Amino acid sequence: MHIMEGYLPASHAVGWFAASAPFVVAGAIRLKRIVAERPQAKMMLAAAGAFTFVLSALKMPSVTGSCSHPTGTGLGAVVFGPMVMAVLGTIVLLFQALLLAHGGLTTLGANVFSMAIVGPWVSWAVWRLAGSLGASITVAVFLAAALGDLATYCTTALQLALAYPDPASGILGALAKFGSIYAITQIPLAIAEGLLTVVVMNALSGRAGMGDEIVTLSGKAE
């Protein structure tokens, strides 16, 4: 993540665009409804998008043709739900591809699927599960952000393995190789992202009026 421009075969690139498109459309519908029902949520939407943009732009070299970095999507997934993050994540990835040469346009569908779809859905599911088990908000936010980050990279490793299977051990062998290389940098980054997300969530909750808004939106997230 982000998979660079032209790195995926054309058929894979098209396939990931097709897989991502329904989620982005559903997210746009959900986003429009949130803004219509709660116009004051625009500030939180902007904060979630900015957080994702900044964190996911901090990259370090990892697997050939890719890189390792935080994703920042856990915060928005916890507050707004995973569908909204499909839209915000797509916008972030598009701007990064055009302005920072981070990722690419042909690989946008694959990058959206891993970072803006799988990651947020895992974050949201972990947030809900942790809450149902009685975990504190701090623990639930940390786990949601950290595991959502790791899920993104597991998905990217699978995408690369499908595109470039190992000549001897096939897709599973390639998946093990890509995943193990990612793990060296991504596990520490996921832990750091979880801690930072907790700090940012606490800071936003402490602002006048923002705490109640976050609680309301989190309770209604889908």
Please write the tens of the pLDDT for every residue from 8-65: 999 999 999 999 999 999 999 999 999 998 888 888 899 899 999 988 888 766 555 5
* Intervals of the chain under pLDDT 70: 1, 60-67, 206-222
Is residue 206 a part of any domain in this protein?
yes
For residue 222, being part of any structural domain is answered with no
- The number of distinct structural domains making up the chain is 1
- In a domain, residue 85? The reply is yes
**Which pair of structure tokens corresponds to residue 183?**
């793990």
Q: What is the structure's pLDDT at 207?
A: 59
The runs of H, that is alpha helices, within 38-169 are 42-56, 73-80, 82-99, 108-111, 119-132, 137-163
100: in domain = yes
* Residue 114 DSSP one-character state: I
CA 44 to chain CA mean position, Å: 17
State residue 133's pLDDT score: 93
Residue 51 in any domain: the answer is yes
Neighbours of 136 (CB within 10 A): 10
Q: Is residue 221 part of a domain?
A: no
Cβ contact 172:21 at 8 Å: no
Compute the distance between CA of residue 143 and CA of residue 190 in angstroms, rounded to an integer. Answer: 9
pLDDT at 213: 57
Q: What is the C-alpha to C-alpha distance for residues 187 and 198, in angstroms, rounded to an integer?
A: 17
**Could you tell me the CATH number of the domain that includes residue 155?**
1.10.1760.20
> What's the domain range around 63?
10-214
Note the pTM of the prediction, 2 decimals: 0.88
Tokens linked to 38: 């709660």
**Cα–Cα dist 5/141, whole Å:** 33
Q: Confirm whether 220 is domain-assigned.
A: no
Angle between helices 210-220 and 42-56 (to 10 degrees): 80
Q: What is the pLDDT of residue 179?
A: 87
Q: Are 130 and 74 in contact (CB under 8 A)?
A: no
Burial (CB count within 10 angstroms: exposed 0-12, middle 13-18, buried 19+), residue 113:
buried
In a domain, 82, yes or no: yes
Give the pLDDT of residue 216. 54
- Non-local (6+) Cβ contacts of 86 within 8 A are 20, 23, 24, 26, 27, 112, 116, 117, 120
* pLDDT score for 208: 44
